Amino acid sequence: MFIDPSVNMKPDPLLYSPFKALVVPRPIGWITTISSDGVINLAPFSFFNGVTDDPPCIMYCPNGSHRDGGPKDSLKNVQDTGEFVFNLCNWDLREKMNLTAEHMPSNIDEMKAVGLEAAACKFINPPRVAAAPASFECRYIKTVDLPIGSTGRESHVVLGEVIGIHIDDSVIVDGIIDIGLLRPVARLGYMDYAVIDKSFTMMRPD
Ligand SMILES: Cc1cc2nc3c(=O)[nH]c(=O)nc-3n(C[C@H](O)[C@H](O)[C@H](O)COP(=O)(O)O)c2cc1C
């Protein structure tokens, strides 16, 4: 079949738009920001990835708006303060990560609300998730505004430079990150997730 997104994203026999089920698996950027009043926000973003490694840069996409109107806290806070943290969500943290997707009022500390311990960052103010096996301290670069959606929804790409990397030493074996110990959780389509705990190796031709 062929889909023209400007006409219909779920032509027969599709029940839902297949887009997110085809861009898989998506790593989850579990993003901490802090408001200019000092309120901690934590939220998962599966439109997330690394974009280059020298200097290391990442992006996440706060799309749509806050339930109380205006931009999502993860967009407003990063634009107000210029800092954010990427926390890696592993298998053990999957349920807490899901809880932080709840649309909470902007004055609620979302780490405290879901019972997660915060750990201080070295260079920036937002805290990291203490239990995360890795966290990146990031300095905001810029926001790229994407085309407005068919329902009037705004979408944004937030870009940041990684200025500090925390790794739990227990996931480092013989000098490399052991994926079987890291066990990152990734987003698939619909309400589905994957946990990555197996990998295979292939050398490049040159
Ligand atoms: C696994 C997962 C991935 C998500 N990915 C995104 C995403 O890429 N973009 C987005 O805008 N919302 C995404 N959400 C929803 C946000 O986490 C949710 O709207 C959150 O409350 C962000 O709002 P806040 O920044 O105001 O806290 C995702 C939710 C889950 C559970």
Task: Catalogue all structural domains in the chain, each as residue range(s) with its CATH number.
Answer: 27-195 (2.30.110.10)
- CA–CA dist 150, 71 (Å, integer): 18
For the beta carbon of residue 156, count every other beta carbon within 10 angstroms.
Answer: 21
pLDDT for 68: 87
26 CB near ligand 1 (under 6 Å): no
pLDDT for 168: 98
pLDDT in tens, 29-83: 999 999 999 999 999 999 999 999 999 999 999 999 998 889 999 999 999 999 9
Percent of the chain at pLDDT exceeding 70? 100
- Are 97 and 28 spatial neighbours (Cβ–Cβ below 8 Å)? yes
pTM for the whole structure: 0.97
pLDDT in tens, 110-162: 999 999 999 999 999 999 999 999 999 999 999 999 999 999 999 999 999 99
67 CB near ligand 1 (under 6 Å): no
Cα 201 to middle of ligand 1, angstroms = 32
Cα 42 to middle of ligand 1, angstroms = 9
Over residues 157-182, mean pLDDT:
98
78 CB near ligand 1 (under 6 Å): no
**Is residue 24 predicted with pLDDT exceeding 90?**
yes
pLDDT in tens, 87-102: 999 999 999 999 999 9
Cα 21 to middle of ligand 1, angstroms = 17
The overall average pLDDT reported for the chain is 97
- CA–CA dist 102, 48 (Å, integer): 18
Cα 17 to middle of ligand 1, angstroms = 18
Helix H or strand E encompassing 22: helix 19-22
pLDDT for 199: 95
pLDDT for 67: 86
61 CB near ligand 1 (under 6 Å): yes
Cβ contacts of residue 48 below 8 Å, gap of 6+? 26, 27, 28, 29, 31, 58, 59, 60, 61, 86
